[in-house]
Amino acid sequence: MSGTLPRPAGNDFSDFVHERSRAGELVVQPRMGFSAPERMRAGLQAVRAARATTVGTITVDSYTRVGDHGSVREALRTGTPLNGYPLVEHGPETNHRLLAGLAGPDFPVQLRHGSALPQRLFEAMLAAGLTATEGGPVSYCLPYSRTPLAEAARAWADGCELLADRAPAGRPVHLESFGGCMLGQLCPPGLLVALSVLECLFFVQHGIGSVSLSYAQQTNPAQDLAAVRAMRRLAAEYLGAVRWHVVIYTYMGVFPRTRAGALRLLADSVRLARATGAERLVTKTAVEALRIPTIEENIEALELAGEVAGRPDAAAGLSASAAEEAALHLEARTLIEATLALHQDVGEALVRAVRQGLLDVPYCLHPDNANQARTLIDETGRLRWRRTGRMPIAAASVSTATGSPAFELLDQLRYIERRCDGVLPGPARPPRSVTG
């Protein structure tokens, strides 16, 4: 890395999270976005009033994410509901009314979007008075678009510098890496940790002084615990004095279909956050597998998370071995160092690492991704590498799998759903490993 690093930065969002964490509270946050400003405001008001320590979310619609503003305008003209809030097309006046008397230091709001080319969204965000968002040059490019990674990296560099330069006086921007959530599942923890750290280094290099690292709950609680502990060690090593915190995501893959199974999985993610010292949790609801949740269903999830987090024994029974943590720390550090060795500019290093297969997201079909890596869920429910392609890490030692690779992949994708819905008894028989 080169250049002068930004000083540790305060921010309404990160200040709130750190203050509540010091008070022993877990900050919980929904995924929420509605196209109508009145409905979006009602959602934010309900989140603010929830019986939990909350921050707000505005999630943009899928047209805005890909820059299809013409389709947004047509939907607004015809009254067609969108699957999120069209921040750009609603414009500053409407956005200010949305947030007036609601968002502030005691209830910060984060913009969530999914865009590989985020500059226009960042301009609209700043015009609305928002100073917290998320994403990243890799994590918002490879899964969500066919934009060339080099183009996304340049766009994100410009976007970070825009956020750093145009943030309101005394209110620098907070930026969260989505790197720990790649494809939602079937991406082993070492790569998730490495990508989250690398994207935060990218943000810092381009002027952002307040960041957060993400990690999505995976298939084995002990492995997740070891991974997040390794992530915290690596963040302390690489981010230095930059202000950072960790956000856990409730499982991002195929969700349980039963109410009991879904709420059990949510509660498990809260316990993971408590056991790792994570400061924030992004929740899912009991109807995630069935449809887009209502405001009320989001509030139920937030309040359940808050209730579980407040229990004195919230993290009881969750443990991980020092050896597993050390192994995951080494794997992630190896990937980080192999990437940073390619170029002093972190964005260029990320582009080269993906193109060369030194970072390889399994099952990701983006043209720049090598897609040689494959995974398996072992007999303990841990997510491991079956094949690592050109990555400088070792694969698990496993026997040759049999059967259709496509069937085996679907079997793995449904592992958590079946376990939480009682089809698998506890951490019993894992799905067969993937050979494709």
Query: 176 forms bridges with which residues in the sheet?
Result: 134, 212
How many domains are contained in the chain?
Answer: 1
Q: How far is CA 240 from the centre of its chain?
A: 22
Percent of the chain whose pLDDT exceeds 70: 92
- DSSP state, 54? B
146 belongs to a structural domain: yes
**Given a cut of 90, is residue 287 above it in pLDDT?**
yes
Give the pLDDT band of residue 72 (cuts 50, 70, 90). very high
Is residue 43 included in any domain, yes or no? yes
pLDDT value at position 4?
Answer: 54
Instruction: Compute the average pLDDT of residues 306-321.
Output: 91
What is the extent of the structural domain holding 262? 12-309
- Which residue, 236, 266, 263, is CA-closest to 248? 266
Mean pLDDT of 139-147: 93
Task: For residues 285-304, give the mean pLDDT.
Answer: 95
Which pLDDT score is estimated for 169? 82
Whether residue 319 lies inside any domain: the answer is no
- pLDDT over 90 at 191, yes or no: yes
Q: How confident is the model at residue 1 (pLDDT cuts 50, 70, 90)?
A: very low
Quick check: is 426 in a domain? no
- The confidence band for 435, taking pLDDT boundaries of 50, 70 and 90, is very low
Q: Measured between alpha carbons, how far is residue 88 from residues 45, 82, 349 in Å?
A: 21, 13, 31
For residue 56, being part of any structural domain is answered with yes
* In-domain check, residue 375: no
Mean pLDDT confidence for 296-308? 97
**Model confidence pTM above 0.85:** yes
Q: Is 369 domain-assigned?
A: no
* Res. 43 pLDDT band, cuts 50 70 90: very high
Is residue 116 a part of any domain in this protein? yes
pLDDT at residue number 5: 53
CATH for 152: 3.20.20.240
Supply the DSSP string of 370-431, one letter for each residue: ----EEEE-TTS-EEEEE-TTSSSPPP--PPP-S-HHHHHHHHHTHHHHHHTTSS-TT-SPP
Residue with token string 């090593």: 237
Model confidence pLDDT, tens digit, residues 352-369: 999 999 999 999 999 999
